[in-house]
Structure 1
């Protein structure tokens, strides 16, 4: 890896930090995503970030948001990313652009187009020609756009390649990142190229490619005492390479951000400080600890600005931290991470290894986190000081001033003027100026002053410190006015709605021997139906393999509860259906996987969506007995035991059990009692890992031997195996509705009739409703009362998103029970679908609530 990045555009990175136009900069950066907001709100959201004191935004550019179908590109309307970047430049924000090609971001497929999975030779996120050819088509579109807007002509100061590649099994990281780097350079990108490590594997993220700077994503437990030691380690590793510590993602809490700053970060970019929305069919399915979930329309992780644009208490914390950064300027931007030169003790839980910064020009800044919910006291260089609960004051020690030394200040220094030092605190502030020690109270709503040796020491509580504007020549403090918050009208309950006649048209997608993927039928976002007639005489169950995302089976006219197993194999009881009967399936894509989770088939990156395959189970054979134990015995012949039944004192030792098979037809091997992953080998093939989340393995006809390897556990509950002989259900007729077709129908006109709520549906029934909205509304939250419904909403010609009422899979993100209509968007249309489950599908209530929005500043006020 290169020891430094020096470029000719005015942006440089070295071990001291970030340099822009020859000036050192410490960047506070907020995520803000144009694709998760209405275009009408881009400017106000950017200005909101600038007002917070943050000086930079990071923004993903999702490939599949702009390539809406193979070779069909869109960069207008809400996709006009050039306009978004130009607005950021006008507002005065720098930009870190993240064009992927993979972005994660809980976005459909991590932004990789769904059709890539149709070619089995395309291996995503690999140094593989077919995939790289597709990436080149994307980079040919997006990189010139970024090159035109890079610093100094525009706001882009860094371009990130890929995203957390160290989470992914890339076979040739160096080759892959080299290809991406070369394309960026060929397109004229001259600002630094960075690549972020998601779990600290710097080489895994960058391939150690020269010219690609390693950055780090940290998501610690906010209450961990060990954050500082970890971050300083990476700051040291990068400094040894002549590079700064760039934290491209982290938690949102400013107590944690202060700890990162004091540990040496030159860039601090908490992820999703300004929240947004997953419009349309763009959320992902993914892994958040448990395998599989649905991302909600509301994309919110508790940042300082809510999805509707309302500021939260953390917003004031941001403004205070930004004022500390501005007050110390280059002294802070050129600081070096270390540990305190003076002794620091505390009577509260704190860091196990407190961080300090040696400031350029002298003095130290020491971060003292109080990890408790109660206030306490710290002793800093022999002086006892108050520390508020849950806070992390940035204390200054031995800071040279013009005519004296700030020996100690126990609170944040938020402004420096001619003869004035302004601090922020909620507890009394101890200041030692030269040899003189004073304690200044922190009084809500007041400006407290003490004069020591002609220097005004001013203390503001954080709400006022957040509003600090300037120090006037007469040393009075000027604060911004707080804009009166608008009193919101109460929620409106809609009692009468207009029901549309007819249903959205569907496109015929032909007849197929086996159910095809929806992507192969041209549906990358949307849904489809599958129908087949088969003979179920003598069949007790079907096996559903690879079904995803939302699959609703109807067998002989009987609708089953929705399946959302992310491709896991499932048994379906069909004893109530005899003879020849219809099997119908409705399949909806919620989103493609944005992680790469091997435990469930649909959570592999690039996995396709659809019904999967449906098999008739023609026989079930118990396979618990007659397994040969390989090795671990005293002599021949080999013992024969039940599966997992070999007794040994060698706990944790891998033991292999093998068994002969005679499989004239396709079969499925099922394991129950599986509490840990096992490996299964068929004949002389490669070992296959089987997980408890999907304890099934399809066996091809002609398989003669199966071997199972597991770690010996004498406390295990017992592993059981059974073999299911299968025949496929054939001859499927398909129809499809992609998201564009559904949107065209939703936004078109049709005959309607008034109906009153509650509105009851049959399972599987769909109803289209139109709701009139106030013409001058400033944003509405739509909440639904009822049960067993999936709801999709449209307004102003665009799909808003989806929600699911009643019995449903796990959701992640923000509030899964709400849809948002942005200000000025009119013509709300809803598609309701009844879902089989523990209650009848019914829409009982529909409430429209005004959405809170942010807006903090007005004219300035004087505070003496």
Structure 2
């Protein structure tokens, strides 16, 4: 197929999305092959198609396919070509999103961990070292997409370049996106190229690069009355560029999706309608404004299909919505946002400016969202109509019916039109429907019909409308069978297991003066051990800097609670230790940051993992006094005050405090009482921002001038400063256990001994357990009745996830307390780690549940 034919097959213009010369309204569900068992790919794709959605968006994670530098894999669950072929067979279009950065709460946002080993490489920039790596990825993946472009050999109708770049500080957006565009064109991508904005900055997302279509991601409060006004603004902005409004990510709730449609969206892609699972060591860390939280292995934001494939009630709402889109067809696809001047008055909370679509053949669709919880009444064009709580009917106003072969005008219908037959209109509603046809007004109860002006009007409850199959000329309807929902069985208790008597091997990783990063040892996912012996005579505390992700530290045989501070500096009390002491730090990578958060060192995009640096604290000095004041009206010679002690009426205006500090060795400046971010510069160098999450600044040995700039508060910020003189702990031996080594060990049979739960462990003790699972066509959700343990599970040759019971950090993204063993994945092996905390490490019971909801 030549380029011209492909462009004609899929085309974007100011009126809409055109496929094969026909305008289309696309409903698109996120469905990620890398979060599903390969055995379920077809079933999940068919499930999306049965929902009425016609498209799936698919990320392609770079670091899922490049396992190590230059080592590529596109087999098994990584066979994305097979997944795309299945989507094509199931009749779905695909929007392919190969990154290079995808976010998606995935390890590193899909950027390979080893990129951070090159200090000159700058991710997501128009920078040659980074682009060289990106092009290597594109050389692998873009040919797969080019071969499967619609309509020649596959389902791909659009390709997204980058992802929400407007969240990231990119120095040359135009150059960067142009480089990605040229790579795509060079590999024969001829379908539209798009780039999505995460916070409405169209130029920030696309760099205004020629040939890159801006798309929008919206994540509003579902109950906001102002969604329509915001979306209409962007519909106008992209129309000025000659392209349609493509909503490439948004909330899952169909009431909100209807509001987007009525405001001009031509592609509506709720993010994660079909949920999945973060198998392996693939979740990310540090999302959504809570520094240091972990993403769970269950990846589920409440979409219409759960992580294990069970349909939620929202699935039926999707089917009804899809019927609305289908029945209005080309007219809806070419409709344009109209002025919200249709007379609508609501007796319930609703939109501040209802969405209105002007249909090309005359008439309008008016969206009337109901935010309340009780049935309500709206007055539309002077006619009172019932509106169900939580709904958003798309009401037809002044619609001529001649295109459906009926010589009449539908002046008003207060419910969704879901089907049309010869002389029959079928509506979906859970409250009585009011219709005005040829001047005749009628109210139709749910599950009944009326004939008005020769047209039969039928009202189906929404549950039936979701199952509608055909409509007869007399208004009779045929429904599909109601889905069978078996009773949820009680979970089964497992109290027996086999404990392995051997332990997984370690890969020796040499001796190092200071602890190296795990990535420099070849561990991109997994864990590593750091061991040394040092003299702690006269040392009361240690300082740990830049450690990530999970550090299990033992000093002289004493196990400390896990450290999961993502690089935040931590003080460790060792007053009870004297003389030479053995120190061991076992560090596990939960996941690399998928967003760029400067508040903690390990949450920067591209930040590396490892023990960081462990320091002996030799001396502590209070340096809160003798700071000179600069700014406001302070004159020369500069006044001297305590840190934060300047008195001024200039509230929030920055004031700078400067002082000379001296240390004969490396030191750490600790700023206690930090509330708002402040700026610190040393020896007139580039200022750094210090946050309350990590109020420390490391200084080399010597004499330094330190300047601290803070927003002034008339009551004083309550800052105190202390200087800790440091001595690095040196001479470390290292060992590596990456995810492949651990998975291989879990899959090998070994010597075992029978154990019966409960199983108690000491803090720091580890145990490997093999558990027999009865065969199940649904698989199992495995939950633990346990305290103070971290558990990693394997089944079917894959890591199925990790669970942390007891004292733990925050988790986000889904259910953090279950492991899913998919059907057909044999066996279950658990790696159990006892951790220090308030309770005794113990597994009391394993509960096997069938994933039915």
Task: Determine whether 1:21 maps to 2:20.
Answer: yes
Q: Which moved more, 1:480-489 or 1:225-234?
A: 480-489
Following the alignment from structure 1 to structure 2, what is the Cα–Cα distance between the partners of residues 636 and 739?
Answer: 61
Task: Determine whether 1:508 maps to 2:505.
Answer: no
Q: Quick check: 1:6–1:13 contact (8 Å CA) kept in 2?
A: no
Q: Quick check: 1:330–1:360 contact (8 Å CA) kept in 2?
A: no
Cα displacement (A) at 1:852: 2.0
Q: Quick check: 1:759–1:843 contact (8 Å CA) kept in 2?
A: yes
Where does residue 857 of structure 1 map in the other structure? Answer: none
Following the alignment from structure 2 to structure 1, what is the Cα–Cα distance between the partners of residues 806 and 635?
Answer: 60
Task: Determine whether 1:386 maps to 2:390.
Answer: no
CA deviation map 1:833-853 (0-9, x unaligned) = 101110110000101111227
Where does residue 137 of structure 2 map in the other structure? Answer: 138
Where does residue 856 of structure 1 map in the other structure? Answer: none
CA deviation map 1:582-618 (0-9, x unaligned) = 1111100000000000000010000000000001111
Following the alignment from structure 2 to structure 1, what is the Cα–Cα distance between the partners of residues 660 and 773?
Answer: 68
SS at match of 1:290: coil
Taking the TM superposition and a 5 Å limit, the aligned residue runs for 1:755-834 are: 755-834=755-834
Q: Which moved more, 1:470-479 or 1:458-467?
A: 470-479
Taking the TM superposition and a 5 Å limit, the aligned residue runs for 1:71-82 are: 71-82=70-81
Task: Determine whether 1:40 maps to 2:44.
Answer: no
Where does residue 435 of structure 2 map in the other structure? Answer: 431
Q: Quick check: 1:159–1:191 contact (8 Å CA) kept in 2?
A: yes
Where does residue 11 of structure 1 map in the other structure? Answer: 10
Taking the TM superposition and a 5 Å limit, the aligned residue runs for 1:391-410 are: 391-402=391-402, 403-410=407-414
Question: Structure 1 residues 596 and 95 mapped into 2: Cα distance closer, same or farther (>3 Å)?
Answer: same
Following the alignment from structure 1 to structure 2, what is the Cα–Cα distance between the partners of residues 305 and 633?
Answer: 62
Cα displacement (A) at 1:665: 1.5
Following the alignment from structure 1 to structure 2, what is the Cα–Cα distance between the partners of residues 6 and 25?
Answer: 18
CA deviation map 1:420-472 (0-9, x unaligned) = 00000011100001100000011xxxx31101122110000000000011113
Cα displacement (A) at 1:637: 2.2
Q: Quick check: 1:340–1:364 contact (8 Å CA) kept in 2?
A: no
Where does residue 312 of structure 2 map in the other structure? Answer: 312
Where does residue 265 of structure 2 map in the other structure? Answer: 265
Where does residue 417 of structure 1 map in the other structure? Answer: 421
Following the alignment from structure 1 to structure 2, what is the Cα–Cα distance between the partners of residues 111 and 290?
Answer: 21
CA deviation map 1:17-59 (0-9, x unaligned) = 1000100000000000000000000001000000000000001
Q: Quick check: 1:778–1:850 contact (8 Å CA) kept in 2?
A: yes
CA deviation map 1:664-701 (0-9, x unaligned) = 22111111111101111111211111111110011122
Following the alignment from structure 1 to structure 2, what is the Cα–Cα distance between the partners of residues 778 and 696?
Answer: 51
Following the alignment from structure 2 to structure 1, what is the Cα–Cα distance between the partners of residues 115 and 84?
Answer: 28
Question: Structure 1 residues 631 and 326 mapped into 2: Cα distance closer, same or farther (>3 Å)?
Answer: closer
Q: Quick check: 2:541–2:574 contact (8 Å CA) kept in 1?
A: yes
- The TM-score, its normalising length taken from structure 2, stands at 0.98
Where does residue 613 of structure 2 map in the other structure? Answer: 613
Taking the TM superposition and a 5 Å limit, the aligned residue runs for 1:454-603 are: 454-603=454-603
Where does residue 861 of structure 1 map in the other structure? Answer: none
Q: Quick check: 2:528–2:587 contact (8 Å CA) kept in 1?
A: yes
Cα displacement (A) at 1:475: 3.7
Q: Quick check: 1:780–1:822 contact (8 Å CA) kept in 2?
A: yes
Cα displacement (A) at 1:488: 4.3
Following the alignment from structure 1 to structure 2, what is the Cα–Cα distance between the partners of residues 387 and 473?
Answer: 28
Where does residue 334 of structure 1 map in the other structure? Answer: 334
Cα displacement (A) at 1:825: 1.1
Where does residue 671 of structure 2 map in the other structure? Answer: 671
Following the alignment from structure 2 to structure 1, what is the Cα–Cα distance between the partners of residues 93 and 266?
Answer: 14
Taking the TM superposition and a 5 Å limit, the aligned residue runs for 1:339-354 are: 339-354=339-354
Q: Which moved more, 1:291-300 or 1:589-598?
A: 291-300
Cα displacement (A) at 1:396: 0.5
Cα displacement (A) at 1:776: 4.2
Question: Structure 1 residues 777 and 466 mapped into 2: Cα distance closer, same or farther (>3 Å)?
Answer: closer
Following the alignment from structure 2 to structure 1, what is the Cα–Cα distance between the partners of residues 634 and 506?
Answer: 67
Where does residue 741 of structure 1 map in the other structure? Answer: 741
SS at match of 2:596: coil
Q: Quick check: 1:229–1:353 contact (8 Å CA) kept in 2?
A: yes
Question: Structure 1 residues 301 and 312 mapped into 2: Cα distance closer, same or farther (>3 Å)?
Answer: same
SS at match of 2:572: strand
Cα displacement (A) at 1:323: 0.3
CA deviation map 1:263-309 (0-9, x unaligned) = 00000000000000000100001221211211111111000001111
Where does residue 68 of structure 1 map in the other structure? Answer: 67
Following the alignment from structure 1 to structure 2, what is the Cα–Cα distance between the partners of residues 342 and 557?
Answer: 75
Where does residue 155 of structure 1 map in the other structure? Answer: 155
SS at match of 1:704: strand
Following the alignment from structure 1 to structure 2, what is the Cα–Cα distance between the partners of residues 657 and 745?
Answer: 57
Q: Quick check: 2:632–2:650 contact (8 Å CA) kept in 1?
A: no
Cα displacement (A) at 1:484: 2.1
Following the alignment from structure 2 to structure 1, what is the Cα–Cα distance between the partners of residues 522 and 635?
Answer: 60
Following the alignment from structure 1 to structure 2, what is the Cα–Cα distance between the partners of residues 696 and 180?
Answer: 39
Following the alignment from structure 2 to structure 1, what is the Cα–Cα distance between the partners of residues 342 and 214?
Answer: 33
Following the alignment from structure 1 to structure 2, what is the Cα–Cα distance between the partners of residues 666 and 650?
Answer: 37
Cα displacement (A) at 1:152: 0.7
Following the alignment from structure 2 to structure 1, what is the Cα–Cα distance between the partners of residues 742 and 294?
Answer: 21
Q: Quick check: 2:458–2:475 contact (8 Å CA) kept in 1?
A: no
Cα displacement (A) at 1:552: 0.9
Cα displacement (A) at 1:717: 4.3
SS at match of 1:49: helix
Question: Structure 1 residues 6 and 231 mapped into 2: Cα distance closer, same or farther (>3 Å)?
Answer: farther
**Structure 2: 5+ residue runs without aligned partners?**
none
SS at match of 2:844: strand
Cα displacement (A) at 1:579: 1.2
Q: Which moved more, 1:222-231 or 1:771-780?
A: 771-780
CA deviation map 1:547-582 (0-9, x unaligned) = 110001101110000000011001111101111111
Following the alignment from structure 1 to structure 2, what is the Cα–Cα distance between the partners of residues 323 and 495?
Answer: 49
Q: Quick check: 2:6–2:151 contact (8 Å CA) kept in 1?
A: no
CA deviation map 1:753-812 (0-9, x unaligned) = 211110001111111111111234421010100100100011111111111011101000
Where does residue 109 of structure 2 map in the other structure? Answer: 110
Cα displacement (A) at 1:375: 1.6
SS at match of 1:85: helix
Q: Quick check: 2:541–2:616 contact (8 Å CA) kept in 1?
A: yes
Question: Structure 1 residues 634 and 313 mapped into 2: Cα distance closer, same or farther (>3 Å)?
Answer: closer
Question: Structure 1 residues 605 and 703 mapped into 2: Cα distance closer, same or farther (>3 Å)?
Answer: farther
Following the alignment from structure 2 to structure 1, what is the Cα–Cα distance between the partners of residues 7 and 275?
Answer: 35
Cα displacement (A) at 1:7: 5.7
Q: Quick check: 2:438–2:453 contact (8 Å CA) kept in 1?
A: no
SS at match of 2:420: strand
Where does residue 247 of structure 2 map in the other structure? Answer: 247
Q: Quick check: 1:9–1:190 contact (8 Å CA) kept in 2?
A: no
Q: Quick check: 2:757–2:845 contact (8 Å CA) kept in 1?
A: yes
Following the alignment from structure 1 to structure 2, what is the Cα–Cα distance between the partners of residues 635 and 187?
Answer: 64
Q: Which moved more, 1:547-556 or 1:369-378?
A: 369-378
Q: Quick check: 1:7–1:192 contact (8 Å CA) kept in 2?
A: no
Cα displacement (A) at 1:715: 3.2
SS at match of 2:662: coil
Note the aligned Cα RMSD (angstroms): 1.2
Question: Structure 1 residues 733 and 434 mapped into 2: Cα distance closer, same or farther (>3 Å)?
Answer: same
Following the alignment from structure 1 to structure 2, what is the Cα–Cα distance between the partners of residues 396 and 509?
Answer: 70
SS at match of 1:44: helix
Cα displacement (A) at 1:339: 2.8
Where does residue 858 of structure 1 map in the other structure? Answer: none
Following the alignment from structure 1 to structure 2, what is the Cα–Cα distance between the partners of residues 91 and 752?
Answer: 46
Task: Determine whether 1:836 maps to 2:836.
Answer: yes
